[in-house]
């Protein structure tokens, strides 16, 4: 949700002195989330390695590497999802105290693992600063009465309204709406539209690095499969490439987000985080800016005159043509 300053002194008739004093109060510091730091792409491999160590140390006895890997993936996802939840929430409900304390302990353990290295260079120092900043901001969150949602690893991840992914997906869904109000509700969108929204939402939360690793593993299995005819080898290889061709969306989303950043920061906003910054309604209603943002989406998603995106057309055609050539000439 967007936050707006309300002049309470004007509403209740307080004295100008009190109003002036309120204006001199330092602004509240923004929550620092390691997952949103500008250099996080470079930090992520080191953070992932530290989380892997934390996962390994959570077992009292030796276990299979695959079990450690699954634990590491689950811990990293939990760290990011819970951190974003509390960043957006800005406080901790009474029933969430144990959860947030466990999250803080996880950050502390990760910090300890990172700090163990004997070769602390600038990159490690940056990561230590980012992790510790996030940990400290979690510790500073105020507690509120009442109850709030607790982490559920099996629950579907939801995109925050009016953030980057929400704005883009709403535009991509335009041709599939059944009603003129264009509300993003299941009953208002065709089956194909529901499928598109679900797929784009999955892309918003996909770990593309891990996805590329899965593709490499699949290719490796085909290359090492014995007694395959040339035709079967090409067919299996083609199917792997087609299955993972949607990795193209990673770059498309990245390029679109960069255009949004260039348009919004610093002209309209001080910052625009990809997952957590809602675009204020008054900016969405700015006709010039709205057209510019929509144009960026149309350009990168190759949207046609009817409103349909065509990101996969070229990659799919290229893969099919490549293997058709192989099958006909080798």
Residue recorded with tokens 């900016």: 283
Per-residue pLDDT of the chain (330 residues; tens, 9 = 90+): 232 222 222 222 333 343 333 333 334 468 999 998 888 878 888 999 999 999 999 998 888 888 898 899 889 989 999 999 999 899 999 999 999 999 999 999 999 999 997 778 888 999 999 999 999 999 999 999 999 999 988 776 788 899 999 999 999 999 999 877 656 666 788 999 999 999 999 999 888 888 888 898 899 999 999 999 999 999 999 999 999 999 999 999 999 999 999 999 999 999 999 988 999 999 999 999 999 999 999 999 999 999 999 999 999 999 999 999 998 887
With a CB cutoff of 8 Å and minimum separation 6, the contacts of 248 are 311, 312, 315
pLDDT of residue 21: 35
pLDDT of residue 201: 92
Q: How far apart are the first and last CA of the chain?
A: 58
Tens digits of per-residue pLDDT, 199-220? 999 999 888 888 888 898 899 9
pLDDT of residue 186: 63
Buried b (16+ CB within 10 A) or exposed e, 91-110: ebbeebeebbeebbebbebb
Helices 122-140, 97-115: axis angle to 10 degrees equals: 160
Taking the whole predicted model, whether its pTM rises above 0.85 is answered as no
Cα 97 to Cα 7: distance, rounded to the nearest angstrom: 33
């Amino acid at each position: 949700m967007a936050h707006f300053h309300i002049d309470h002194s004007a509403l209740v008739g307080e004295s100008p002195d009190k109003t002036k004093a309120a204006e001199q109060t330092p602004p509240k510091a923004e929550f620092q989330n390691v997952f949103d730091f500008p250099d996080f792409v470079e930090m992520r491999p080191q953070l992932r390695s530290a989380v892997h160590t934390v996962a390994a140390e959570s077992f009292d006895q030796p276990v299979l590497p695959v079990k450690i890997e699954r634990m590491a993936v689950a811990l990293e996802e939990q760290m990011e999802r819970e951190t974003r939840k509390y960043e957006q929430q800005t406080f901790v409900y009474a029933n969430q105290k144990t959860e947030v304390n466990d999250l803080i302990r996880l950050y502390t353990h990760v910090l300890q693992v990172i700090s163990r290295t004997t070769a602390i260079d600038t990159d490690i120092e940056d990561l230590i600063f980012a992790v510790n900043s996030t940990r400290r901001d979690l510790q500073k969150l105020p507690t509120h009465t009442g109850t709030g949602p607790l982490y559920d690893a099996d629950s579907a991840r939801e995109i925050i309204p009016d953030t980057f992914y929400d704005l883009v997906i709403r535009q991509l869904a335009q041709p599939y709406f059944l009603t003129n109000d264009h509300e993003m509700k299941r009953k208002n969108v065709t089956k194909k539209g529901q499928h598109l929204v679900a797929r784009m939402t999955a892309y918003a939360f996909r770990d593309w690095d891990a996805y590329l690793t899965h593709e490499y593993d699949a290719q490796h299995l085909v290359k090492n499969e014995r007694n395959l005819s040339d035709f079967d080898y090409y067919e299996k290889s083609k199917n792997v490439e087609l299955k993972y061709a949607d990795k193209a969306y990673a770059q498309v989303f990245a390029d679109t987000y960069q255009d949004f950043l260039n348009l919004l920061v610093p002209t309209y906003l001080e910052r625009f985080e990809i997952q957590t910054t809602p675009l204020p309604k008054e900016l969405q209603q700015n006709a010039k800016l709205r057209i510019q943002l929509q144009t960026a989406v149309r350009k990168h998603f190759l949207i046609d005159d009817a409103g349909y995106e065509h990101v996969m057309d070229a990659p799919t055609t290229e893969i099919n043509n490549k293997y058709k050539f192989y099958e006909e000439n080798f």
